[in-house]
Structures are given as C-alpha cells and as structure tokens.
Structure 1
Amino acid sequence: MDVRSLFAAQQYAASRPATEPEANGTGAGAHLAAAAEDFTETLRTAEANAQSAMTGDADPHALVQALAQSELAVDTVVTLRNKVVEAYQELLRMPV
C-alpha cells in the first residue's frame, strides 16, 4: 500500500464528519423553518387586527401597520419564490 493513499484515506476519514448533517438543527433548513414561522405569525397578526377592526375594537393605526407588514412579508416571499423558480429553470436549461 502506498503511503500517499494511506494519508488520503486518513484525511478523508477526518473530513467525513464535516460533511454529515448537523444533528442540533442549526442548518439552513432550521433557518428556513424559522423564517416560515415568522411569516405565518405576521399574517396571523394582520388577520387578527383586521377582524378586530371589523368589530370596532382595533386601533386604526395598528391595523394599517399590520397590513403594511403583511404586504411587505408577502412581497418578500413572492420575490424569493420567483428567484427559486428562476434558478430551477436555469438548472433545467443546463446541458447534461
């Protein structure tokens, strides 16, 4: 057995744990899940304020602020979705 191949095998074994997924949930998936939860909470708050405004229990300024926040959140999510679809279509156009 060549010494270089032995060193290569040892380096591969040492770097292998770095390529395994993280068990504590601090990866990109956890960040996306947290962003999705924030988006959902923003929409729930806006909906609750809108329902309160219909019954006359809400402050009009709070309603406008909640609607503006939900509009910004929806615009951000739509832009993100468009970028993901565009990247996917670009991958499909790549020659194999």
Structure 2
Amino acid sequence: MDIKALSAVQKYAASRPATEPNASQGGAGDAFQSLARDFATTLQESENIAKAAMTGEADPHALVQALAQTELAVETAVTVRDKVVEAYQEILRMPV
C-alpha cells in the first residue's frame, strides 16, 4: 500500500467522528422524541380511561378530565405541525 494512501485513510478515520452526530449532546431531535412520547402516552391514558368509563369502572369526572387533556394535546400537536409547515414553506420561498 502506498504511504500517501495510508496517510489519507488515517486522516479520514480521524476526521470521521467529527462529522457523526454526538448522542450525548441531546438536541432538538431528543426534545421532539420526548414530546412525541408524551403525546402518545397522553392519548393512551385517555383511551384507557374512556374504556373504563364505558364499562362503569371510571367516574365521569375522570373521563371529562382525560378528554380535556387529550384535546389540549391534539391542539398543541396541530399548532406545532402548522408552524413546521409554515417554516418549511418559508424556506422554499427563499431565493437560492
């Protein structure tokens, strides 16, 4: 193997970790993942309470509270989605 090729391979291997994402930094991806997990948990809990209310195992107050939490979570998700779409459209309108 040529010395120059070996040197290039070693330099590439040394620079590669700088271009890989760092899992310990925790960025927006982790925040969105956490929000999505919380959203799914809220929906699942509300569904379980609704099922329990239909069988008479949960009181109506708990059902109303669960439905209110679900409504708030869905409205928040829709608002975030609208903002993301709006930002994406704004980026598409930018001149290159």
Relative to the length of structure 1, the TM-score reads 0.75
Q: Which residue in the other structure is 2:62 paired with?
A: 62
Map 1:23-34 onto structure 2 (within 5 A): 23-24=23-24, 26-34=26-34
Give 1:19 deviation, angstroms.
Answer: 7.7
Q: Distance in 2 between matches of 1:26 and 1:33?
A: 11
**What is the number of residues matched between the two proteins?**
80
Amino acid at match of 1:24: S
Q: Distance in 2 between matches of 1:23 and 1:39?
A: 23
Residues 1:25 and 1:50: Cα distance change in structure 2 (over 3 Å): farther
Q: CA RMSD in A?
A: 1.8
1:85 aligns with 2:85: yes
Residues 1:55 and 1:32: Cα distance change in structure 2 (over 3 Å): same
Give 1:25 deviation, angstroms.
Answer: 5.7
Gaps of 5+ in 2: 1-16
- Helix, strand or coil at the partner of 1:24: coil
Q: Give 4+ residue runs of structure 1 displaced > 4 Å after superposition.
A: 17-20
Q: Which residue in the other structure is 2:8 paired with?
A: none
Relative to the length of structure 2, the TM-score reads 0.75
